[in-house]
Amino acid sequence: MSLDKALLSRLTVEPLHRQRHDRDSFCCGVDRIDNFLKITAGRFAAEDHGKVYVAIDPPSPMVLGFFALSPHAIDIRSLPEADRRRMPRQPAVSAIYLSMVGIDQAVQGCGVGTFLMTAALCKCIDGANLMGGHFVVLDAIDEHAARLYRRLGFIDLPSDPGRMLLAMRTLRRAMESVKIP
């Protein structure tokens, strides 16, 4: 598939609404991610474990993609030495955890993933502006995903294979350089 500018211009990202959004037909091709959206996401958000945001093409309620964010803390000792030196003398540092990202197979390759990742990272900046947060943290599901995240500036956390982080200051600079508010 190729970039679908018409679709991207219509997409909206909004908090998951358990009754309004159609999650049943969502399929990204990874059972763990599909099941999170279909089974767990509503309770995850309702019980304030975090927030789930969905991408839809209004007026259709069908979920084309989603991401989940929650507050997180990283043990200072697990950080690379260069980052550890900059941190306050506390056992942990605040972060925002990007716990799930999924794009429906029907729109994979159309630019929806880039659109959604941009929206997720903007929400991370908003959250850090509101309550603080030194890093965005995520767990890459496989090496293909890890390569994609590395291209976005995430680094591997040496003490925790698969876990990756992006310094908030790096993210802010990147967003400012491409003029994303």
Write the pLDDT tens digit of every residue in 110-169. 999 999 999 999 999 999 999 999 999 999 999 999 999 999 999 999 888 899 999 999
- Number of structural domains (the chain) is 1
- Classify residue 28 by its DSSP letter: -
Q: Which residue has the tokens 């995430």?
A: 154
CA 2 to chain centre: 22
Cβ atoms of residues 137 and 163 within 8 Å: yes
- Classify residue 17 by its DSSP letter: -
Task: Please give the Cα distance from 7 to 26 (Å, whole number).
Answer: 17
Instruction: State mean pLDDT over 64-71.
Output: 98
> Which has the closest alpha carbon to 132: 124, 140, 143?
124
Instruction: Extract the runs of DSSP E, i.e. beta strands, from the chain.
Output: 12-15, 51-56, 65-75, 92-103, 135-139, 155-156, 163-167
| Per-residue model confidence (pLDDT) at position 179 | 66
| CATH for 148 | 3.40.630.30
Any idea which of 29-33, 78-82, 121-125 has the lowest mean pLDDT? 78-82
For residue 146, count other CB atoms closer than 10 A to its CB.
19
| Radius of gyration, CA atoms only, the chain | 16
Structure tokens that stand for 155 in this block: 């680094």
Structure tokens that stand for 178 in this block: 């491409």
Does pTM surpass 0.75?
yes
Note down the domain range covering 133: 5-177
The percentage of residues in the chain with a pLDDT greater than 90, rounded to a whole number, is 78
